[in-house]
Amino acid sequence: MANEQQTDQNMMYEHVKEKIAGILEDQKSLQEDTIKDLVEEWKKLIESTPPAFLKTILGITDADNIRPLSEEEWAYIQNELEQSFDVRITTGILVTGTDQKKRDLSWWTSKKQLESDNYYLTNYMNYMKSDLPPQVLETIHEDTDAIMNNLADPDSDAFSRYGMVVGHVQSGKTSNYAALICKAADAGYRFIVVIAGGQNNLRNQTQTRLDEVFVGANYQGVGQLAGFKREKMPDSLTNADNDFKIETARARGTTNFENMKLPILVVIKKHTKTLSHLLKWLDDHYKNQVDKAMLVIDDESDYASINTKKEEDPTVINEKIRLLLQKFKKSAYVAYTATPYANIFIDHAAQNNEAGRDLFPSDFIYALDAPSNYFGAEKIFNKENEKYVVKIPDNEAVYELDENILYPKNEYPFVIKHKKDYQYELEHLPESLYDAVRLFVINIAIRNLRNQNKHNSMLIHISRFTNVHVKVRKLVAEYFDTLKKEIKTYGSVSDPIKYSQDLKEMKDTFDTRLQDIEFDFETILNTICKMVDTIQIRDVHQSAKIKLEYRKDTQTNVIVIGGLSLSRGFTLEGLSVSYFLRTTIYYDTLMQMGRWFGYRVGYEDICRVYLTDDLNKKFGFIIEATNDLVSRLHDMREENLTPEDFGLAVQLHPDSLLQVTARNKSKNTEDMFLQMNLDGQLKETGWLSSLTDDMETNETLLVKTIQKLLSNDYEHIENKSHVWKDVDRTIIQDFVSDYRTYKNDPLGLKSRMPIDFIKEYIKDCELDWDVVLFNGTGNKEFELESVKVNRQVRKVTKKAGYYEVSNKQLSRANPEKIIMPDEFKNLSSRDMRKEMEKPLLMLHALTLKENENEWSAVGFGISFPIMETSHINSLKVRINSVYRKQIEEAYNDEVGDYGDYED
């Protein structure tokens, strides 16, 4: 009843918002004040129009629901529309393979798409207008065009394509591959297989989504559109309740692909049995290869698809996927994942076995951007703004019990590392979990007060065992029943916290967690009283008696307890509170467990994630590693490199607890401990990035660094070249950190500029530095205030993404002599470093020359003194087979001393 009353009160708000949204959907671009101006126009329209006319304009049947909107409600409408429509997003990053570069990579956009009626795509775009902003839809269109171009024309001869699309956790990968499926169907791909996650709930959710946006089953979703044609409805051999079964497929009579004019869709769970059934069904009807084009979408492709055994005896699921691809003369395999480490670790040079080639994305890798309204890891784990993270106290949750500690009776902390019989020891939950439950109840009320009468979810993920889920649900239910009783008894009386400790704790939660909310506690509590009976508690696992369901005809408010069934791909609607105590040592698994990523339009400010301090730090580290990976892809595109060139070295967690991915998934990788003693060494940027943005950034950085040197009272010696003595190391630290090196040499071992080791040296070494800006003999000058030098001319060879300086050397012989006393100037460069008392940063304003071509650039070098206490830096990295080979080629040269040399 409470929900119905809320819906009636909310009708006017929703209709006005939908009307303005409909206008925005039709606009190709938005100006800065478009949304604000539209809201003001409708505000005036509502105020000046009689209710009888408003009924017609807004499509409201009952005149009793026509009412004025408050200033607060107009502000909510504007805020929600801005978060939905004022969205920034860019197209993705494409890296293609060597053979792929020689193929027709415009067959779709410049030919086939123009010949097609684009029926399935048109349905998809028209239907999704109400769900996604125009900018996001347009980017999906452009991204999937690029992916289509990297598949193959289904009318061509036999082909196989292997690609990977990298997205963000819960960022809309399904929307992307749904659009891709629609375009593939328009192009003529006749058999489309979606391999969903390993759990039934994810397969069912994926099937439901594709039924909605592609199939139009039961006249739902696109089936409700005016342009929907029953005769063109794809033939789906699976449905929302049933995975693939041979008898069902036989009953449909869909066996003769040669005569099929409609696309066939199969959505299967990533399981040995379903893959075997599909292969058997195909083998029963086709002894040889099928002469039609097949598209395979492998969702969560880093899960279960990777061969974790020897190539001659691959894992069953990996082998079945490869056999499925071999069954068709024309096949395209596209792996989708947010955590691509395992896919990249596939041995790119593995020999084919009877099952066919392995699943390395040798043809293309495409990295999707996330829209600006995506609530992702960088927002949540921003070290400068941790408002979204609530730290679980150390005394409430421990990794394992310490036998040396006598814990107070009935106050045992929650034990993170436990076995399935832990349920018998579990008598109470951490106080922070009760706090999280209270916050969730408050959040539902806040969203209702904001007229966001939509689904609300809370996630509790503290175990991988079903028995523990059941016990946790029982304990949560006991607490919630007590809380609900107190709310219903005292929630409507004056000053309720005087009578109820539970309500006092709820107010404490509100005051602590939500300090900038526009409502006071009394208003929120009044709303809680009306909706507290609607809150459900569900444990989600394969044995759950009651299925979690988000109904279309009513608001669902649910506290969800689960583990594996919720850890990959499954979407919790309206998730605002997450309580997370699971842990793992793997990057990819940890990121996938984070169901709290996604879109939180209108309620991002009330979202909270409860974590231990240890987990919080781990997520922070993973963000850096993932950003580095995407950055590498960007550089590879700029340098026209290939997936096989992806010499990936992902730095492992400093305490070695976090691993990139499970060891059996990364059997083609290895850990390496690299050590480097920089004492007595000279390191220089012999490879200079040729990316325009990098070169301009470095030029600006040189200006900023010289300005810092001039603005401080350092000893400044000028003799054509410029020297500054006893410079604070922070200036050097800033320069080295901001300088842009050639990126596709992660450890700097090929280019002889081991930048990560150098950064560690600067951080650990507390000495002051000397700095020199060398004068050269070029015709061009570098000038800033009192500093003026001729640029140094260096011969280079332009390569993919970088300029290689002749002999990889920037400096002339014995560059250190510029800072040495006269008695040491005749020493060798090596011996000078023995006499140096501090390191020397050497700045080079350069003119690079290759034949008749010239470029201005900035390089640097560092001469390291030989110290009494050596500065040996260690770095542990995980590398794939490509980078191992590259290190073998470069490492022997890198660790040696360069001695004296001359251009």
User: Is residue 382 assigned to a domain?
Assistant: no
**How much is the average pLDDT of 271-282?**
94
**Greater pLDDT, 868 or 772:** 772
Question: What is the average per-residue pLDDT within 227-254?
Answer: 88
| pLDDT at 1 > cutoff 70 | no
pLDDT band at 892 (very low <50, low <70, confident <90, very high): very low
Residue 868 has pLDDT above 80, yes or no: no
The last residue of one of the domains, among 41, 67, 85, is 85
Is 376 a domain residue? no
Helix (H, G, I), strand (E, B) or coil at 729: helix
Angle of helix 431-449 relative to helix 501-513, nearest 10 degrees, comes to 70
Highest mean pLDDT among 193-202, 245-254, 739-748: 193-202
Residue 4 is predicted with a pLDDT of: 47
Nearest to 667 by CA among 347, 353, 339: 347
Whether the predicted pLDDT of 696 surpasses 90: yes
Q: Residues 398, 415: contact at Cβ < 8 Å? A: yes
Residues 327, 285, single domain; the answer is: yes
Would you state the pLDDT for residue 668? Answer: 75
pLDDT at 255: 61
Do 705 and 739 fall within a single domain? Answer: yes
Confidence category of residue 567, pLDDT binned at 50, 70, 90: low
pLDDT on residue 636: 80
Report pLDDT for 888. 64
Alpha helices per DSSP H over 712-780: 729-738, 755-764
Query: What integer pLDDT is reported at residue 873 of this predicted model?
Result: 67
3 state SS for 319-371: HHHHHHHHCEEEEEEEEEECCCHHHHCCCCCCCCECCECCCCCCCEEEECCCC
Between 661 and 209, where is the model more confident? 209
Instruction: For residue 9, name the pLDDT band (cuts at 50, 70, 90).
Output: low
Compute the distance between CA of residue 120 and CA of residue 152 in angstroms, rounded to an integer. Answer: 18
In a shared domain, residues 745 and 852 = yes
pLDDT of residue 80: 86
The whole-number pLDDT of residue 179 equals 97
pLDDT of 468 over the 50 cut? yes
Q: What angle separates helix 134-149 from helix 173-187, to the nearest 10 degrees?
A: 50
Positive or negative, the CA dihedral 755, 759, 761, 766 is positive
Same domain, 109 and 194: yes
CATH number at residue 199: 3.40.50.300
| 624 in any annotated domain | no
The confidence score (pLDDT) of residue 900 equals: 28
- Residue 31, class by beta-carbon neighbours within 10 Å (0-12 exposed, 13-18 middle, 19+ buried)? exposed
Q: Is the pLDDT higher at 697 or at 602?
A: 697
C-alpha count within 13 angstroms, C-beta hemisphere, residue 707:
7
Q: What is the pLDDT of residues 635-682, one digit of tens each?
A: 788 778 888 877 666 666 666 666 777 767 777 777 777 777 888 889
730 pLDDT band, cuts 50/70/90, is very high
Cβ neighbours of residue 477 closer than 8 Å, sequence gap 6 or more: 537
Average pLDDT for the chain: 86
Q: What is the pLDDT of residue 2?
A: 45
What pLDDT is recorded for position 254? Answer: 63
Q: Are residues 237 and 316 in the same domain?
A: yes
Average pLDDT score over residue span 489-495: 92
| Confidence class for position 14, pLDDT limits 50, 70, 90 | confident
Read off the pLDDT of residues 605-634 as tens digits, 9 standing for 90 and up.
999 999 998 888 888 777 777 777 777 787
Residues 79 and 109 in one domain: no
Using 50, 70 and 90 to split pLDDT, how confident is the model at 435?
very high
Among residues 38, 63, 85, the one where a domain terminates is 85
Task: With respect to residue 661, please indicate whether it lies within any of the assigned structural domains.
Answer: no
Question: Which domain, by its residues, includes 48?
Answer: 2-85
Amino acid at site 500? S
Whether 473 and 556 map to the same domain: the answer is yes
In Å, how far are 440, 447, 470, 506, 547 from 484, measured between CA atoms? 13, 19, 20, 11, 23
Q: How far apart are CA 665 and CA 662, in angstroms?
A: 5
| Same domain flag for 327 and 180 | yes
Residue 328 has a pLDDT of: 95
- For the ranges 236-250, 299-313, 539-553, the maximum mean pLDDT occurs at 236-250
Rounded to an integer, what distance in angstroms lies between the CA atom of residue 638 and that of residue 632? 10
- Spatial distance between the Cα atoms of 19 and 25, rounded to a whole number of angstroms: 10
- Which DSSP letter does residue 253 get? T
Q: What percent of the chain has pLDDT over 70?
A: 91
Count how many domains the chain has.
Answer: 4
Is 576 within a domain?
yes
Residues 102 and 77 placed together within one structural domain of the fold: no
**Domain for residue 746, yes or no?**
yes
| 416 confidence band (pLDDT: 50, 70, 90) | confident
pLDDT at 365: 93
Q: In terms of Cα–Cα distance, which of 680, 676, 677, 712 is closest to 816?
A: 680
Residue at 23 is within a domain: yes
Over residues 173-199, mean pLDDT: 94
Please, which pLDDT band fits residue 894 given cuts at 50, 70 and 90? very low
Tokens coding 21:
């949204």
Q: Which residues pair with 391 in a beta bridge?
A: 611
| Phi-psi map region of 417: left, alpha, beta (phi>0 left; psi -120 to 50 alpha) | beta
Domain boundary among 563, 597, 612: 612
The 10s digit of each residue's pLDDT in 766-781 is 899 999 999 999 999 9
Residue 133 shares a structural domain with residue 73: no
**Is 118 or 376 the better-scoring residue by pLDDT?**
118
What pLDDT is attached to residue 683? Answer: 92
pLDDT at 901: 24
Q: What is the pLDDT of residue 587?
A: 67
pLDDT tens digits along 39-53: 999 999 988 898 888
Distance between CA atoms of residues 783 and 895, nearest Å: 36
Strands 191-195 and 264-268: parallel
51 and 185 part of one domain: no
- Considering the domain architecture, whether residues 34 and 160 belong to the same structural domain is answered as no
**pLDDT value at 408 more than 50:** yes
**Do the domain assignments include residue 742?**
yes
Supply the DSSP symbol for 586.
Answer: B
**pLDDT, tens digit (0-9, with 9 covering 90-100), for 50-65:** 888 888 888 888 877 8
Task: Please state the separation of Cα 166 from the chain's center in Å.
Answer: 8
